[in-house]
Amino acid sequence: MQYKAEIHVTLKRTVNDPQGLAIRGGLHSLGFETVESVRAGKFIEVWLEADSAQEAQRLADDMSDRLLANPVIEDYRVELVAADQARTSPRSAGGGVT
């Protein structure tokens, strides 16, 4: 069965985020003066085949631990969606861009 794993990679709370600070500065310049804090991260969609949701979750966790996130500075969160429930299939989406 095909699954889509939506993987959110975020900097750990204790890690400084220069990119978030720069975005915050840009938002302030645009007039969004009430913005207090911005943290930037990565969003990665992985389409994969697995026998079960648990197997898909295990694979997504494994690839996150070993490559997609750096455990020294980053945390990750996986949201699993069965592909037939996902809005767009990878083929029609042209390489995963929705």
Partner 1 sequence: MRFAVLVFPGTWSDWDCVYALEDLGQTAERVWHRETALDDYDGVILPGGFSYGDHLRCGAIARFSPVMSALERFAASGKPVFGSCNGFQILCEAGLLPGVLQRNASMQFRCQPQQLSVERVDSGFTGACEPGQIVQLPISHGEGQYFAPPQVLDELEDAGRVLFRYHGENPNGSLRDIAGIVNPAGNVLGMMPHPERASDALLGGTDGNYIWRSIIEHWG
Q: Which range, of 47-55, 56-64, 65-73, 90-98, touches partner 1 by CB under 8 A?
A: 65-73
Q: List, in sequence order, every residue forming a beta bridge with 76; answer none if it has no partner.
A: 9
Asked if 78 and 13 count as a contact pair (C-beta separation under 8 A), the reply is: no
Residue number, 14 or 34, with CB nearest to partner 1: 14
- Residue 36 CB, nearest distance to partner 1 (Å)? 19
Measure the CA–CA gap between 58 and 16, rounded to whole angstroms: 30
Question: Residue 3 is encoded by which pair of tokens?
Answer: 């699954």
- Residue 73 CB, nearest distance to partner 1 (Å)? 5
- Residue 22 CB, nearest distance to partner 1 (Å)? 5
Residue number, 61 or 74, with CB nearest to partner 1: 74
Q: Is 98 in the site for partner 1 (CB under 8 A)?
A: no
- Least Cα distance to 74 among 23, 8, 29, 26 occurs for 8
Measure the CA–CA gap between 33 and 10, rounded to whole angstroms: 24
Q: Which residues here bind partner 1, judged by CB under 8 A?
A: 15-16, 18-19, 21-22, 42, 67-68, 70, 72-73
